[in-house]
Structure 1
Amino acid sequence: MSQNSHLSSVLSLEEQEYLEMEVRGAKHWIGLSDRAAEGSWRWTDGSKYTKGFWYEKQPDNWNQGIGGTEDCVHLQNGAPHKTWNDGNCTQQHQWVCKVTFGQA
């Protein structure tokens, strides 16, 4: 059950800094993917993708030899605020979700 949540979008430097602090360098999936069209990044919650906090030389769509390419994005250790890496969506990582709040 989703508990009114979805994989997190990261829409600002403040959100990126918060997630970096919370995940403490462990790999966590976020809700960014180019599964629908290679190189066309989309947030799973429908938010508009404008810029990323990509680790050096990422995304690279590296074929890891495990039956696919890299269409999903996770946070990883890296230079401050540059921690995104594209990875094979079948890899086992933790995840970061956002909760959708209803109207008050």
Structure 2
Amino acid sequence: MTSERDQLHAERDELQKIQKKLNYTIQQHLRYFVTKHTRWNEARQECRSKGADLVIINSQEEQEFLSQMFSGEAWIGLSDSAEEGKWMWVDGTKMTTGFWWQGEPNDYEQKEDCAATGSRHAKAKVTTWADYSCETELNAICEMEAK
């Protein structure tokens, strides 16, 4: 009985941790997905027309959440179009946590300044990022602060 009780307590504690992470994610941000394929700037305009912006990803938990919720490649709110190699989020903050696919960002042919999650090269459960030409047409993930 004691070992069963301890096992149930351990399972309960783990479930509470998961619930806390999910509640934080859901309460902090309201997300919706743009399903039509558009260029990065057009995707951002679409998000902004709805009172949102392209998603900013600052934690492993958030990347894991998006990996579970969305399949395929999609624009995120990250680019180095203002200064090559200086990746900035749409809110003007510098990228501090990245989930780049191996060898990315690579600025292939000096034309890749916008980031997408869901790299088709990812083999893990958690998707990775890649840089693409901002003219590539992809889906996008928009984010709006919860009120």
TM-score range, shorter chain: 0.7 to 0.9
2:141 matched to which residue of 1?
A: 96
Decide which structure has the larger Cα Rg and report it.
2
Q: State the match for 2:123 in structure 1.
A: 79
Is structure 2 residue 62 aligned with structure 1 residue 15?
Answer: yes
Question: Within 2, Cα distance between the matches of 1:62 and 1:48?
Answer: 22
How many residue pairs get aligned? The number is 97
Which residue identity lines up with residue 3 of structure 1 in the other structure? K
Question: TM-score scaled to structure 1, two decimals?
Answer: 0.84
Q: Is the contact between residue 4 and residue 101 of structure 1 (CA under 8 Å) also seen in structure 2?
A: no
CA distance in 2, matches of 1:7, 1:43: 9
Q: How far 1:48 moved relative to its partner?
A: 3.8
- What's the counterpart of residue 31 of structure 2? none
Taking every aligned residue pair, what percent have the same amino acid on both sides?
A: 36
Please give the secondary structure, in 2, of the residue aligned with 1:70. Answer: coil
CA RMSD, 1 decimal: 1.6
The offset of 1:41, in angstroms, is: 0.4
CA distance in 1, matches of 2:92, 2:53: 11
Question: Residue 38 of structure 1 aligns with which residue?
Answer: 84
TM, length-normalised to structure 2: 0.61
1:56 aligns with 2:102: yes
Q: Give the gaps of 5 or more residues in structure 1.
A: none
Partner residue of 1:3?
50
Find the aligned partners of 1:48 and 1:35 in 2 and give their Cα distance: 13
